[in-house]
Amino acid sequence: MSENQSRSSNSMTSRPLRLGVAGPVGTGKSSLIATVCRTLAHKYNLGVITNDIYTDEDARFLRSAGVLPAERIRAVETGACPHTAIRDDVTMNLLAIEDMERDFAPLDIVLVESGGDNLTATFSPALVDAQIFVLDVAGGGDVARKGGPGIARADLLIINKIDLAPYVEVDVEQMVADAMTARAGAPVLALSRQRQETVGRLCAWVRWIHARHQSGQHTPVDPGPMAPHFHADENGGGIFHSHEGDSGSGHHHSR
């Protein structure tokens, strides 16, 4: 199970791998986490943190999937702007991760699901060691070509729900090729939870990145700040802001 205790005295590598899962709403982040947990829970000691806007919907979905004991799945409720909690002020998430790591020590991997709100939201390297960015074929074959920090520089890009490709008339091979171009050769994986060989590749990658992290070979990469964007608020108005500067100092809100 957890070899990391005896392996190293280096605190960088003796803690669990924190693995972020980001991407737009509905692309299959919770389902991917459920699949990883279902496949790897017998070999790895796992925990999950979800980021929801106002609810603990994702955490409840994952608990009901029964892939991990319910207490190993915890929700952080982020309020209106979920990417802030994974990028600009990661305190809530860091506390949740640290609590989880303490309560279930020694954990091997903590998976963190972002509250997917935007094509360009990515995790700060202060929060996660590595991140997966999830697109799906239903979002359109040209999305991968559009790029953005998550698509271009996440540690792994997933093109999900490839079982749906014929119904939405997307050429998966072309979408993967476009993504590889946008990523300068960094890994891209076509996935469907219905296709076991693709699930096998995903879990092989998770095992690989975990091993690299444990051996101190993996360096967390910042995919870069998100583009300025617009959120609807509850009153039908909106908040426009940018995350330039990346520390909150460049925050610009106007209504």
- Give the span between the Cα atoms of 30 and 21, in whole angstroms: 9
Q: How far apart are CA 151 and CA 14, in angstroms?
A: 29
Distance in Å, CB of 191 to Mg ion, minimum: 15
Q: Amino acid letter at 249?
A: S
Size of the site for Mg ion (CB under 5 A): 3
SS3 for 40? helix
Region near Mg ion per CB under 5 A, out of 54-62, 84-92, 102-110, 212-220:
54-62
**Region near Mg ion per CB under 5 A, out of 51-59, 66-74, 167-175, 189-197:** 51-59
Task: State the first-to-last Cα distance of the chain, in angstroms, to the nearest integer.
Answer: 51
Whichever of 13 and 158 has its CB closer to ligand GDP, that residue is 158
Residues lying near ligand GDP in the complex (CB under 6 A) are found at: 25-31, 58, 116, 160-161, 163-164, 192-194
Strands (E), the chain: 17-22, 46-52, 73-77, 109-113, 130-136, 156-160, 188-190, 229-232, 238-241
Binding partner at 31 among Mg ion, ligand GDP, none, C-beta below 5 to 8 Å by kind? ligand GDP
- How many Cβ atoms sit within 10 Å of the Cβ of residue 14? 16
Residue 39 binding target from ligand GDP, Mg ion, none, CB below 5 to 8 Å by type: none
Rounded distance between C-alpha atoms, residue 149 and residue 154, angstroms = 7
* Smallest distance, ligand GDP to C-beta of residue 251, A: 26
**Which of 4, 27, 30, 118 is close enough to bind Mg ion by CB under 5 A?**
30
Q: Which is nearer to ligand GDP, 21 or 90 (CB)?
A: 21
Tokens of 110: 């903590």
Scanning 21-29, 72-80, 170-178, 221-229 for contacts with Mg ion by CB under 5 A, the matching segment is 21-29
Neighbours of 200 (CB within 10 A): 11
Should residue 58 be labelled a site residue for Mg ion when binding is judged by CB under 5 A?
yes
With contacts defined by CB under 5 A, name the span among 30-38, 63-71, 129-137, 213-221 that binds Mg ion.
30-38
Compute the Cα dihedral for 170, 172, 176, 177 and give only its sign. negative
Residue 4 interacts, among Mg ion, ligand GDP, none and using kind-specific CB cut-offs from 5 to 8 Å, with none
Point out which residues bind Mg ion (CB under 5 A).
Answer: 29-30, 58
